[in-house]
């Protein structure tokens, strides 16, 4: 089988938001050809924002918000389990990225006086900056990447990282169309592979009907893990409120500032804030499963011109097929409330706090390995966090490579990975990838979906260990199949991590994201720590704890609990299933 072999200084894996700014920044300082961007799709339409984004959800604009406020808000939203330095680094560098995007031609919503038109969606501060023409974002990034002269290699999927001793030394993968092996030696690798979005199975049973772009299968989580890097907060799942069945956002961040809000079946509000947090999701979940469910996004009270404005944004950006979904069901924003549901579980630091452990320099625990975007743990980092941290990672990787010489030959590692990648092709009649994937993800739903308990998590873990053996039965007939089989490895790895991390933290935290029925209270005495995991010397998954570094923006205990009070006081309800009441003696039993 043919192989592509390249030498570079920096390889960026993943050409979405974080990967684009990383490669652009790295190329500014290095000769042409020394920066390689690997993308398993095509950079013009890849990553979480393949079809653009309607706004920045965490913009810290001078005059509207401060870095201190933002760091405080995200510390609250993540129940205190944060590395504030990493959030601070974002908060103090992200406005530069907004100005950079502005210069590249991204259009932000401005007021009549020319100020950024910032909206309030979070519980406390105002950080949402609409981009009504955000459908162009990916095209703009692609143009800048090409102008910079980055060596972009599309349709190559990375499967393992190379190590030279403790250091990172490159990437191995394959072309998902030709089946050719790809080996890129490099001094530093920046992982920007997006979320683990194909973990839970959507309630529809449709494998690719995920909230995340299904290309984001947890590749980066698995690559970092097998390279020996630590991951953190994996038990803090991503679960989002989405349009039922369609499984895309409705989207409260766009409609909220225009007067839309979340209600129960009676049309009554029950949550104070539509900002996506674990505590908001817990109230959402309780309402959904109570006698007041389903839950809806209410827009039918808005003026026709407001609805036109909402459609103009929602049906052109992010998930534009929302319009034909509603039309297909005979619904419209003017006449029907939008029925909402909760997403399948995933891992994503862009929305919650589960990812590869990174510091404020974007460094993982492996020298030369950096991570940015949804897969790197800087909680609630969203799109602007990905763009900002991509840039920061590249800047720091450039400093790092200045002191790294050429590495040793790694023929053994490469040969072993070649064998692992192509093994499924020797089983053309093996189990098809979609059946394997369906089974693992169905088991994820059965055993990992909150509310969690030790018995269910343990049973799930045993199935995921068995699924490791089952991978030896999965076959592939084409390079496309092979891509899906190797994604099956990523998905299974993430399922095992999610089970083990959830079992380890014997308390409840982050609302629904880590709700343990057997440990229903939050226990700061024991669990005010990061729960990390890594692959140990023997190849086993090892759990460890890291202390929370002293805060640089202090919060007192009551402030830390402010996200716990998201239910509207006048809207109490109980989701407990009650025993049917026995008929009273006077009425008697039917004969």
Partner 1 sequence: MSELRDRELAKAAQALQVGNAQTTRRFDVPVVVDLEKCITKCRICIDSCPVDCLAVNPETGKAHMAFDECWYCLACELDCPKDAITVKIPFLIR
273 near partner 1 (CB under 8 A): no
155 near partner 1 (CB under 8 A): yes
206 near partner 1 (CB under 8 A): yes
Stretch that binds partner 1, among 57-65, 323-331, 356-364, 493-501 (CB under 8 A): 323-331
What contacts 275, CB < 8 A, 6 or more positions away? 77, 121, 122, 123
- Dmax (CA) of the chain: 90
* Selection from 572, 509, 573 nearest residue 234 by Cα: 509
Stretch that binds partner 1, among 179-187, 200-208, 277-285, 386-394 (CB under 8 A): 200-208
149 near partner 1 (CB under 8 A): no
Q: Which of 176, 354, 381, 413 binds partner 1 (CB under 8 A)?
A: 176
- Using CB under 8 A as the binding rule, the residues of this chain from 360 to 399 that contact partner 1 are none
177 near partner 1 (CB under 8 A): yes
Token pair recorded at residue 236: 């803090």
The two counts, helices (H) then strands (E), for the chain are 16, 19
3-state secondary structure of 12: strand
196 near partner 1 (CB under 8 A): no
Token pair recorded at residue 198: 């194909």
- Using CB under 8 A as the binding rule, the residues of this chain from 328 to 367 that contact partner 1 are 328-329
Q: How many residues bind partner 1 (CB under 8 A)?
A: 40
Nearest-approach distance from CB 314 to partner 1, in angstroms: 13
Token pair recorded at residue 448: 């990992």
- Using CB under 8 A as the binding rule, the residues of this chain from 26 to 65 that contact partner 1 are 41-42, 44-47, 50-51
Q: DSSP letters along 444-495, please?
A: HHHHHSSSB-HHHHHHHHHHHHHHHHHGGGB--SSHHHHHHHHHHHHHHHHH
The contact pattern for partner 1, residues 69-108, with x = CB under 8 A and - = no contact, is: ----------------------------------------
Q: What's the rounded Cα separation, in Å, for the pair 588 and 580?
A: 16
Q: Which of 111, 113, 335, 429 binds partner 1 (CB under 8 A)?
A: 429
Nearest-approach distance from CB 455 to partner 1, in angstroms: 27
Q: Which of 28, 99, 321, 542 binds partner 1 (CB under 8 A)?
A: 321
469 near partner 1 (CB under 8 A): no
Stretch that binds partner 1, among 62-70, 324-332, 372-380, 488-496 (CB under 8 A): 324-332
- Using CB under 8 A as the binding rule, the residues of this chain from 528 to 557 that contact partner 1 are none
Contact 544, 245 (CB under 8 A): no
Contact 372, 393 (CB under 8 A): yes
What contacts 272, CB < 8 A, 6 or more positions away? 123, 565, 566, 567, 568
205 near partner 1 (CB under 8 A): yes
Nearest-approach distance from CB 338 to partner 1, in angstroms: 14
Nearest-approach distance from CB 328 to partner 1, in angstroms: 5
Stretch that binds partner 1, among 201-209, 255-263, 360-368, 370-378 (CB under 8 A): 201-209
320 near partner 1 (CB under 8 A): yes
Residue placing its CB nearer to partner 1 in the complex, 205 or 583: 205
Residue placing its CB nearer to partner 1 in the complex, 438 or 551: 438
Stretch that binds partner 1, among 228-236, 265-273, 274-282, 427-435 (CB under 8 A): 427-435
Helix 382-401 × helix 17-29 angle, to 10° = 30
* Selection from 523, 437, 374, 518 nearest residue 206 by Cα: 437
Nearest-approach distance from CB 260 to partner 1, in angstroms: 22
Q: Which of 189, 280, 431, 443 binds partner 1 (CB under 8 A)?
A: 431
Q: Which of 110, 146, 324, 546 binds partner 1 (CB under 8 A)?
A: 324
Residue placing its CB nearer to partner 1 in the complex, 267 or 328: 328
What contacts 195, CB < 8 A, 6 or more positions away? 48, 212, 216, 218, 238, 346, 347, 348, 350, 374, 375
Token pair recorded at residue 96: 């530069």
Nearest-approach distance from CB 177 to partner 1, in angstroms: 8
Contact 232, 545 (CB under 8 A): no
Q: DSSP letters along 16-77, please?
A: SHHHHHHHHHHHHHS-TTSEEEEESS-GGG-STTTT--SEESS---TTT--HHHHHHHHHHH
Q: Which of 204, 472, 517, 565 binds partner 1 (CB under 8 A)?
A: 204
319 near partner 1 (CB under 8 A): yes
Q: What's the rounded Cα separation, in Å, for the pair 47 and 38?
A: 12
Phi, psi angles (nearest 5°) of residue 412: -65, -45
- Using CB under 8 A as the binding rule, the residues of this chain from 207 to 246 that contact partner 1 are 207-210, 213-215, 245-246
Residue placing its CB nearer to partner 1 in the complex, 167 or 315: 315
Contact 377, 233 (CB under 8 A): yes
483 near partner 1 (CB under 8 A): yes
- Tokens 């209410």 belong to 298
Q: What's the rounded Cα separation, in Å, for the pair 232 and 357?
A: 5
Q: Which residues bind partner 1 (CB under 8 A)?
A: 41-42, 44-47, 50-51, 154-155, 176-177, 204-210, 213-215, 245-247, 319-321, 324-325, 328-329, 429-431, 434, 473, 475, 480, 483
């Amino acid at each position: 089988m043919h192989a592509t072999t390249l030498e570079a200084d920096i390889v960026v894996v993943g050409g979405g938001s974080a990967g684009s700014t990383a490669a652009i920044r790295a190329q500014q300082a290095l000769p042409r050809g020394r920066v390689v961007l690997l993308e398993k799709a095509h950079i013009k339409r890849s990553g979480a924002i393949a079809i653009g984004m309607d706004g920045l959800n965490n913009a810290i604009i001078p005059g509207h918000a401060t870095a201190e406020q933002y760091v405080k808000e995200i510390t609250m939203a993540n129940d205190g389990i944060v590395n504030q330095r990493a959030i601070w680094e974002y908060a103090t560098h992200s406005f530069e990225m907004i100005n950079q995007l502005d210069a590249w031609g991204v259009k932000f919503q401005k007021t009549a006086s020319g100020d950024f038109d910032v909206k309030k969606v979070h519980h406390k501060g105002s950080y949402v900056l609409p981009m009504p023409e955000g459908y162009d974002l990916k095209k703009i990034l692609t143009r800048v990447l090409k102008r910079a002269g980055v060596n972009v290699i599309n349709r190559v999927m990375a499967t393992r990282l190379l190590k030279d001793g403790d250091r990172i030394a490159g990437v191995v993968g394959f072309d998902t169309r030709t089946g050719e092996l790809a080996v890129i030696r490099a001094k530093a690798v920046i992982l920007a592979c997006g979320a683990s979005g194909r973990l839970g199975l959507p309630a529809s049973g449709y494998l690719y009907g995920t909230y995340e772009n299904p290309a984001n299968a947890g590749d980066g989580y698995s690559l970092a893990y097998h390279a020996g890097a630590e991951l953190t907060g994996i038990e803090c799942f991503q679960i989002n409120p989405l349009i039922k069945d369609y499984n895309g956002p409705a989207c409260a961040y766009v409609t909220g500032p225009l007067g839309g809000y979340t209600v129960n079946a009676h049309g009554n509000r029950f949550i104070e804030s539509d900002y996506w947090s674990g505590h908001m999701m817990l109230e959402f979940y309780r309402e959904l499963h109570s006698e007041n469910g389903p839950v809806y996004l209410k827009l039918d009270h808005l003026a026709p011109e407001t609805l036109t404005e909402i459609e103009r944004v929602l049906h052109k950006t992010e998930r534009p097929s929302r319009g034909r979904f509603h039309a297909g069901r005979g619904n419209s924003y003017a006449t029907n409330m939008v029925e909402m549901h909760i997403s399948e579980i995933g891992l994503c630091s862009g929305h919650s706090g589960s990812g590869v452990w990174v510091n404020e320099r974007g460094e993982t625990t492996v020298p030369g390995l950096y991570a940015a975007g949804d897969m790197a743990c800087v909680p609630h980092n969203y799109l602007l966090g990905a763009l900002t941290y991509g840039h920061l990672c590249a800047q720091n990787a450039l400093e790092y490579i200045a002191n790294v010489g050429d590495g040793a030959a790694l023929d053994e590692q490469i040969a072993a990975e070649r064998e692992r990648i192509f093994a499924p092709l020797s089983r053309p009649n093996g189990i098809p990838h979609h059946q394997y994937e369906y089974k693992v993800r169905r088991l994820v739903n059965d055993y990992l979906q909150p509310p969690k308990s030790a018995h269910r998590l343990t049973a799930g873990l045993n199935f995921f260990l068995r699924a490791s053996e089952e991978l030896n039965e999965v076959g592939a007939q084409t390079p496309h199949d092979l891509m899906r089989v190797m994604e099956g490895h990523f998905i299974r790895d993430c399922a095992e991590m999610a089970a083990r991390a959830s079992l380890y933290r014997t308390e409840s935290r982050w609302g629904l994201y880590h709700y343990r029925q057997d440990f229903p209270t939050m226990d700061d005495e024991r669990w005010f720590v990061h729960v990390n995991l890594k692959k140990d010397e023997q190849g086993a998954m090892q759990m460890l704890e890291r202390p929370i570094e002293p805060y640089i923006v202090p919060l007192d205990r009551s402030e830390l609990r402010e996200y716990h009070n998201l239910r509207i006081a006048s809207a109490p309800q109980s989701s407990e299933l009650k025993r049917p009441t026995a008929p009273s003696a006077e009425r008697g039993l039917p004969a």
